[in-house]
């Protein structure tokens, strides 16, 4: 896996933001899920970098990027990085939280985006309705408030197999990697730290504004309401498409990186 020595630094208005930058060609930006960092994409970067310039940033407050000390929006941070790179417009590829950042950015800064891929995500307005996810989210929120890292981490790692499988059903390297990255991000924060994130609201109703190609990818074991929301998102975009990675859950890109990369490359080659 990559480490801090492989990273570059972008001096934002509120501290340095870290990113990996490799390859050459059209710009593809890989956006990680919540509580982890750019290393989520270590399996994908080498193949993608054979044909594209690949940038994998650490979102503010994650990985090796600075924590927030003032109000900020994910989309504005990413837009500042894209302008700093001066290499766009970019194809944004995001898993979970990263998918929300991708849709936020194409809505708020459309001129910087060439196409969007969301994985295990649609927009920031989406909320799970199934009891399993709702209970898990509640457990994680309460544990964060009290600083109970053990309870939070146990709940967070349950997202890897999801409700239909146990940890024994998946490659143990996947939760190991997620755990390592999550612990690193958690170590940057304290329970009483102010949350400076300003969320983009009303995004689900604005998806018809997206005028670039969009691919919504889900693992086949994601809940039905997420698949439905992905179909709705793709249907609202003139060039919207969906794809499914069989036998995977929320971390489809980690569970089956080869299959995920094939789906992504097929999309990129169609642009």
Q: Report pLDDT for 5.
A: 47
pLDDT in tens, 247-268: 999 999 999 999 999 999 999 9
In the predicted model, is pLDDT for residue 3 greater than 60? no
In the predicted model, is pLDDT for residue 4 greater than 90? no
In the predicted model, is pLDDT for residue 1 greater than 90? no
Domains of the chain: which residue ranges?
4-129+196-270, 137-186
In the predicted model, is pLDDT for residue 2 greater than 80? no
What's the pTM? 0.96
Greater confidence (144 vs 101) lies with 101
For the chain, the DSSP string reads ---GGG-EEEEEBTEEEEEEEEE-SSEEEEE--TT--GGGGTTTHHHHTTTSEEEEEPPTTSTTSPPPSS-B-HHHHHHHHHHHHT--SEEEEEETHHHHHHHHHHHH-GGGEEEEEEES---TT----SHHHHHHHHHHHHHHHHT-HHHHHHHHHTTTT-TT--GGGS-THHHHHHHHHHHHHHTT--TT----B----S-GGGGGG--S-EEEEEETTS-HHHHHHHHHHHHHSTTEEEEEETT--TTHHHHSHHHHHHHHHHHHHH-
Q: Which CATH superfamily is domain 4-129+196-270 in?
A: Alpha/Beta hydrolase fold, catalytic domain (3.40.50.1820)
pLDDT in tens, 130-155: 999 999 999 999 998 899 999 999 99
pLDDT in tens, 104-135: 999 999 999 999 999 999 999 998 999 999 99
Total residue length of the chain: 271
Mean predicted confidence (pLDDT) in 221-246: 96
Q: pLDDT exceeding 90 applies to what percent of the chain?
A: 93
Q: State residue 8 phi and psi, 5-degree precision.
A: -105, 170
Structure confidence at residue 6 as a pLDDT band (50, 70, 90): confident
Average pLDDT of the chain, as a whole number: 95
Q: Report pLDDT for 192.
A: 87
pLDDT in tens, 26-67: 999 999 999 999 999 999 999 999 999 999 999 999 999 999
pLDDT in tens, 176-223: 999 999 999 999 999 889 999 999 999 989 999 999 999 999 999 999
């Amino acid at each position: 896996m990559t480490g801090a020595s492989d990273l570059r630094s972008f001096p934002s208005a509120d501290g340095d933001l870290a990113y990996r930058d490799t390859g050459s060609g059209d710009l593809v930006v890989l956006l990680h899920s919540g509580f982890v960092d750019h290393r989520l994409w270590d399996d994908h970067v080498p193949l993608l970098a054979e044909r594209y310039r690949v940038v994998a940033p650490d979102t503010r407050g994650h990985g090796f990027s600075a924590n927030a000390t003032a109000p900020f929006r994910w989309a504005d941070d990413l837009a500042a990085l894209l302008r700093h790179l001066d290499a766009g417009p970019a194809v944004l590829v995001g898993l979970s939280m990263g998918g929300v950042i991708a849709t936020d950015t194409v809505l708020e800064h459309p001129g910087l985006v060439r196409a969007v891929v969301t994985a295990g995500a649609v927009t920031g307005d989406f909320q799970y309705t199934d009891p399993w996810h709702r209970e898990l989210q509640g457990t994680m929120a309460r544990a964060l408030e009290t600083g109970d890292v053990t309870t939070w981490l146990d709940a967070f790692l349950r997202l890897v197999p999801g409700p239909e499988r146990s940890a024994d059903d998946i490659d143990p390297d996947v939760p190991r990697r997620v755990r390592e990255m999550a612990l690193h991000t958690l170590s940057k924060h304290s329970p009483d730290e102010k949350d400076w994130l300003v969320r983009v609201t009303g995004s689900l109703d604005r998806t018809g504004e997206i005028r670039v190609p969009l691919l919504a990818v889900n693992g086949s074991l994601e809940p039905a309401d997420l698949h439905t929301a992905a179909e709705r998102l793709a249907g609202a975009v003139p060039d919207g498409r969906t794809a499914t990675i069989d036998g995977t859950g929320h971390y489809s890109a980690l569970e089956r990186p080869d299959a995920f990369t094939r789906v992504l490359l097929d999309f990129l080659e169609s642009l």
